[in-house]
């Protein structure tokens, strides 16, 4: 069958790239109560963090304190919240979404109807993964945004002290927060590719989610065993805390670059693994 | 240039086989659904109907054999074929927390050939066609089994289809709903669509199908126009009488087989015996005859004659 013939036969496919399917996917993810509740939990943490720092802040006691120095700029709440949610909360949220992506549809039986439409197997994986990436971005920026709002309203927006001890103005610190969020969202997107792959292996979304969290935790544990130092640079999670380098003056980018390359490799390998698995899989659910 | 296949039949398989680990679910079947037919795909639960349908739709890949769907090979040209096929596979499946209407919108959005501008009107008319408009806003989880089944049928009607593959479409419907679905299927066939409808309810298929294929333990044991299949089976006579024992004895003497006496009537296989000889013999034997009939073999009789067994679940 020639390409020309395909073109004639399928005279009706839309020439332009349509975002309809992606929008439908996002509506399902963000419209689901369970996921809204999950995002709510992510957003609560910076609130708790900001209020507890505020209450323990020595401004009432009068004495100068380190907290005053670092908390003179409210954006620190956003960075702190990202650091606190980095080990578990944000990866867990991404694991839940990515674990559900294919296995959830298989579990409901909707997968067979999507494929019979036909949605196209490769196209479905592209849409599913794009939605995971968008969710990772949304979750990370939600934490950063709530942290920023809480921080600025409780601590004001003065100069921020970098980890190198210098002071940077508000606009610069906002820019660094955006970069940090993008960096972390990229890391979580790589985890989401692992999740997408695991999700193609099973019809149990909860099982898939647990497996992804286990992979995430396992990488953290391996990263903490000093005898395995040779392995550390190959672990996705090893580079996650590197976002703190963006708070140095000037920004240290070496680890950030390594981290982005590692994330890209993980994302590419596991997306292809998911594709290899899914494109030939018997859908018997 | 589109018809690479010489065969114009919408569904053709040759030697189609599916093996799951050790078990052969579908064993070298040569299916042929003629253009415009309502093809009843029959067989007990577990006989391989759904596995075959999944292979036709490209959901599972055959172990061996070939499939041509609407003139193109499956699963190689799945995209081209499937967009012209509406399907219902192994019961309805939708997102429980979305409304019926939102579920259809979801499927329509996944279809790269559907026009978003007409999406709403196509969804409404599909809902209308299955009588679900009033419940369109309800969440799917609140639907009864019959409503779910209707929604699944509506989903297969979102786009104009040349072929409908409906796996057990009346499962869970009440008699009224069953009748509506039967009408719907004949309507769709009237519009020019070919319909492949699987069922384990023989009586239901009997009423609407022009062709049947019978699956049994993974094999296609018979296929063809319904009338031809019927012709190949034994005819049964029924004699209503208040002395069934005597009537049975007379029928046995005449050479009829498989005589079964019940209270008030007796039935027997006609075999080669001429029908007109029966009544005189009964009268001569002083058997009071209250009624006499030659029964058309039901699809169930056809089935039993083909497989030698009842229409039960096969392991």
Span B30-56, mean pLDDT?
91
Domain containing B182 — which CATH number? 3.40.50.300
DSSP assignment string, chain A: --HHHHHHHT--S-SSPP-HHHHHHHHHHHH-HHHHHHHHHHHHHHHHHHHHHHHH-TTTT----HHHHHTTBTHHHHHHHHHHHTTTHHHHHHHHHHHHHHHHHHHHTHHHHHHHTT--HHHHHHHHHHHHHHHHHHHHHHHHHHHHHHHHHHH-B--EE-TTS-EE-HHHHHHHHHHHHHHHHHHHHHHHHHHHHHHTT-S-HHHHHHHHHHHHHHHHHHHH-GGGTTTGGG-GGGGGGGGGGGGSSSPP-HHHHHHHHHHHHHHHHHHHHHHHHHTT-----
Span A55-78, mean pLDDT?
64
Span B191-196, mean pLDDT?
91
Residues 6+ away with beta carbon under 8 Å from A190: A236, A262, A263, A264, A266, A267, A270
Q: Is residue B305 part of a domain?
A: no
Stronger pLDDT, B275 or B19, i.e. the higher one: B19
Whether B118 and B258 map to the same domain: the answer is: no
Interface test with A, best of B48, B109, B166 (most A CBs within 10 A): B109
pLDDT, tens only, B66-120: 999 999 998 888 888 999 999 999 889 999 999 999 999 999 999 988 889 999 9
Choice among A152-161, A196-205, A224-233, B130-139 with the minimum mean pLDDT: A152-161
Whether B215 and B139 map to the same domain: the answer is: yes
CB-defined contacts A:B, below 8 A: 100
Whether B146 and B260 map to the same domain: the answer is: no
Q: Is residue B5 part of a domain?
A: no
Packed helices A121-155 and A33-56: angle between N→C axes, nearest 10 degrees? 20
Binned at pLDDT 50, 70 and 90, residue B170 comes out as confident
Span A266-274, mean pLDDT?
96
Q: What is the pLDDT of residue B171?
A: 82
Binned at pLDDT 50, 70 and 90, residue A56 comes out as confident
Pairing relation of β-strands B23-29 and B85-88? Answer: unpaired
* CB environment A69-79: b (16+ within 10 A), e (fewer): ebbbbbbbbbb
Smallest CA–CA distance, residue A29 to chain B, in Å, is 12
Stronger pLDDT, B229 or A261, i.e. the higher one: A261
Choice among A37-51, B2-16, B131-145, B154-168 with the minimum mean pLDDT: B2-16
Tell me the percentage of chain B whose pLDDT exceeds 90.
41
Span B196-214, mean pLDDT?
85
Span B138-144, mean pLDDT?
94
* pLDDT of B299 higher than 80: no
Mean pLDDT across chain A: 87
pLDDT, tens only, B240-298: 988 888 888 888 888 888 888 888 888 888 777 788 888 888 888 888 888 888 877 77
Packed helices A89-108 and A205-224: angle between N→C axes, nearest 10 degrees? 150
Binned at pLDDT 50, 70 and 90, residue B187 comes out as confident
Q: Is residue B1 part of a domain?
A: no
Q: Is residue B226 part of a domain?
A: yes
Domain boundaries, chain A: 17-278
pLDDT, tens only, A182-208: 999 999 999 999 999 999 999 999 999
Which one of B87, B110, B113 has the shortest CB-CB distance to A13?
Answer: B113
* pLDDT of A4 higher than 70: no
Domain that holds residue B266: 236-296
Q: Taking CB atoms and an 8 Å cutoff, what residues of chain B touch A17?
A: none
Instruction: Report the chain B residue with the minimal C-alpha distance to residue A7.
Output: B80
pTM of the model: 0.85
How far, in Å, CA of A122 to CA of B271, rounded?
59
Tell me if B85 and A116 make a contact (CB, 8 A cut-off).
yes
* pLDDT of B314 higher than 50: no
Binned at pLDDT 50, 70 and 90, residue B47 comes out as confident
Binned at pLDDT 50, 70 and 90, residue A11 comes out as very low
Whether B266 and B182 map to the same domain: the answer is: no
Tell me if A21 and B110 make a contact (CB, 8 A cut-off).
yes
Whether B144 and B268 map to the same domain: the answer is: no
Binned at pLDDT 50, 70 and 90, residue A161 comes out as confident
Span A206-218, mean pLDDT?
96
Which chain A residues touch B if contact means CB-CB below 8 Å?
1, 5-6, 8-10, 12-14, 18, 20-21, 23-24, 28, 32-33, 108-110, 112-120, 123-124, 280, 282-284
ipTM, 2 dp? 0.85
Q: Is residue B311 part of a domain?
A: no
Whether B191 and B44 map to the same domain: the answer is: yes
Domain containing B262 — which CATH number? 3.30.70.100
Whether B200 and B63 map to the same domain: the answer is: yes
Whether B167 and B201 map to the same domain: the answer is: yes
Which one of B2, B57, B94 has the shortest CB-CB distance to A116?
Answer: B57
Q: Which of B202, B231, B260 is the last residue of a domain?
A: B231
Find the helix or strand (DSSP H, E) in which B274 lies.
none
Choice among A155-164, A271-280, B71-80 with the minimum mean pLDDT: A155-164
Whether B198 and B171 map to the same domain: the answer is: yes
Report how many domains make up chain B.
Answer: 2
Q: Is residue B289 part of a domain?
A: yes
Instruction: Identify the DSSP state of B234.
Output: -
Q: What is the pLDDT of residue B75?
A: 84
* pLDDT of A243 higher than 60: yes
Whether B105 and B52 map to the same domain: the answer is: yes
Q: Is residue B117 part of a domain?
A: yes
Tell me if A118 and B82 make a contact (CB, 8 A cut-off).
yes
Whether B290 and B214 map to the same domain: the answer is: no
Q: What is the pLDDT of residue A9?
A: 38
């Amino acid at each position: 069958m020639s390409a020309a013939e395909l073109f004639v036969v399928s005279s009706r496919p839309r020439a332009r790239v349509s975002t309809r399917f992606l929008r439908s996917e996002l509506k399902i993810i963000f419209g689901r109560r369970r996921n809204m509740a999950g995002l709510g939990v992510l957003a609560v943490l910076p609130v708790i963090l900001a209020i507890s720092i505020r209450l323990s802040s020595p401004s009432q006691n009068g004495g100068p304190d380190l907290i005053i120095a670092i908390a003179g700029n409210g954006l620190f709440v956003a960075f702190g919240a990202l650091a606190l949610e980095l080990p578990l909360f944000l990866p867990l949220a991404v694991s839940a979404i990515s674990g559900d992506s294919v296995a959830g549809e298989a579990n409901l039986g909707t997968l067979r109807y999507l494929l019979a439409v036909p949605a196209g197997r490769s196209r479905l994986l592209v849409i599913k993964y794009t939605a995971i990436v968008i969710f990772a971005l949304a979750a990370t920026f939600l934490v950063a945004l709530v942290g920023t709002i809480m921080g600025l309203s409780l601590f004001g927006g003065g100069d921020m002290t970098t980890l190198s001890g210098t002071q940077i103005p508000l606009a610069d610190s906002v820019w660094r927060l955006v970069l940090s969020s993008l960096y972390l969202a990229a890391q979580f997107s790589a985890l989401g590719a692992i999740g997408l792959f695991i999700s193609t292996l099973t019809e149990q979304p909860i099982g898939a989610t647990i497996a992804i969290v286990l992979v995430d935790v396992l990488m953290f544990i391996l990263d903490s065993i000093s005898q395995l130092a040779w392995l550390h640079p190959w672990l996705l999670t090893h580079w996650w805390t590197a976002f703190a380098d963006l708070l140095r003056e000037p920004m240290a980018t070496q680890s950030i670059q390594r981290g982005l390359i590692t994330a890209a490799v993980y994302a590419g390998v596991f997306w292809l693994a998911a594709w290899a698995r899914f494109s030939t899989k018997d859908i018997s659910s | 240039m589109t018809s690479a296949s010489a065969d114009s039949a919408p569904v053709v398989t040759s030697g189609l086989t599916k093996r799951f680990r050790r078990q052969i679910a579908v064993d070298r079947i040569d299916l042929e659904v003629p253009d415009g037919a309502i093809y009843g795909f029959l067989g007990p639960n577990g006989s391989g109907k759904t596995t075959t349908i999944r292979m036709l739709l490209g959901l599972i890949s055959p172990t061996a054999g070939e499939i041509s769907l609407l003139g193109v090979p499956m699963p190689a040209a799945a995209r081209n074929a499937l967009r012209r096929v509406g399907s219902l596979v192994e019961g309805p499946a939708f997102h429980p927390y979305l409304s019926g209407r939102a579920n259809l919108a979801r499927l329509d959005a996944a279809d790269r050939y559907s026009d978003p501008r007409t999406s709403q009107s196509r969804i409404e008319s599909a809902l209308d066609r299955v009588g679900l408009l009033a419940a369109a806003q309800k969440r799917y989880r609140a639907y009864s089994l019959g409503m779910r089944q209707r929604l699944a049928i509506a989903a297969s009607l979102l786009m104009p289809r040349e072929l409908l593959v409906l796996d057990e479409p009346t499962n869970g419907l009440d008699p009224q709903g069953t009748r509506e679905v039967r009408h719907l299927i004949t309507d769709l066939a009237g519009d020019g669509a070919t319909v492949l409808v699987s069922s384990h309810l023989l009586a239901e298929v009997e009423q609407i199908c022009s062709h049947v294929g019978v699956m049994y333990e993974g094999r296609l044991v018979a296929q063809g126009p319904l009338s031809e299949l019927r012709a190949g089976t034994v005819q049964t006579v029924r004699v209503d009488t208040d002395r069934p024992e005597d009537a049975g004895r007379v029928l046995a003497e005449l050479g009829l087989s498989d005589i079964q006496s019940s209270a008030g009537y007796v039935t027997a296989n006609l075999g080669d015996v001429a029908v007109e000889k029966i009544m005189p013999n009964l009268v001569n034997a002083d058997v009071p005859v209250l009624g006499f009939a030659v029964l058309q073999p039901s699809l169930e009789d056809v089935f039993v004659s083909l497989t030698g067994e009842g229409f039960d679940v096969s392991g």
